[in-house]
């Protein structure tokens, strides 16, 4: 990350996504020099990985609804818990 960009670990998902979108727009414009494009691409890949890590962490916290035999929600259990 450059001097103007906060450390990657301190960025929220939304902040990282905004930076990634900015990089994509710059690269798609075709107005960035080759060396700068490579640098931007590398930064974008780090941001993409950071966003994926945040999404994976959020998914791990999701609880799924457990339905009873009558189809009515009977409670919740952790997303990754095995069926009983």
Q: What is the pLDDT of residues 22-79, one digit of tens each?
A: 999 999 999 999 999 999 999 999 999 999 999 988 876 665 555 667 767 666 666 6
The answer to whether residue 19 is domain-embedded is: yes
Give residue 16's domain range.
Answer: 8-78
The answer to whether residue 2 is domain-embedded is: no
Q: 67 - beta bridge partners?
A: 73
Residue 39: CATH number of its domain: 1.10.287
The answer to whether residue 83 is domain-embedded is: no
The answer to whether residue 74 is domain-embedded is: yes
More confident of the two residues 26 and 81: 26
Give me the number of domains the chain comprises.
1
pLDDT at 68: 64
The answer to whether residue 39 is domain-embedded is: yes
CA distance 11 to 58: 15
0.95 cut: is pTM over it? no
pLDDT at 9: 86
pLDDT confidence band for 84 (50 / 70 / 90): very low
Number of H helices, E strands in the chain: 2, 2
């Amino acid at each position: 990350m450059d001097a103007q960009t906060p450390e990657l670990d301190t960025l929220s998902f939304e902040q990282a996504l905004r930076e990634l979108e900015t990089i994509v727009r710059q690269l798609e414009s075709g107005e960035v020099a080759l060396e700068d494009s490579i640098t931007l691409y590398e930064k974008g890949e780090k941001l993409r990985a950071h966003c994926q890590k945040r999404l994976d962490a959020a998914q791990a916290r999701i609880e799924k609804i457990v339905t009873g035999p009558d189809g009515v929600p009977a409670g919740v259990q952790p997303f990754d818990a095995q069926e009983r």
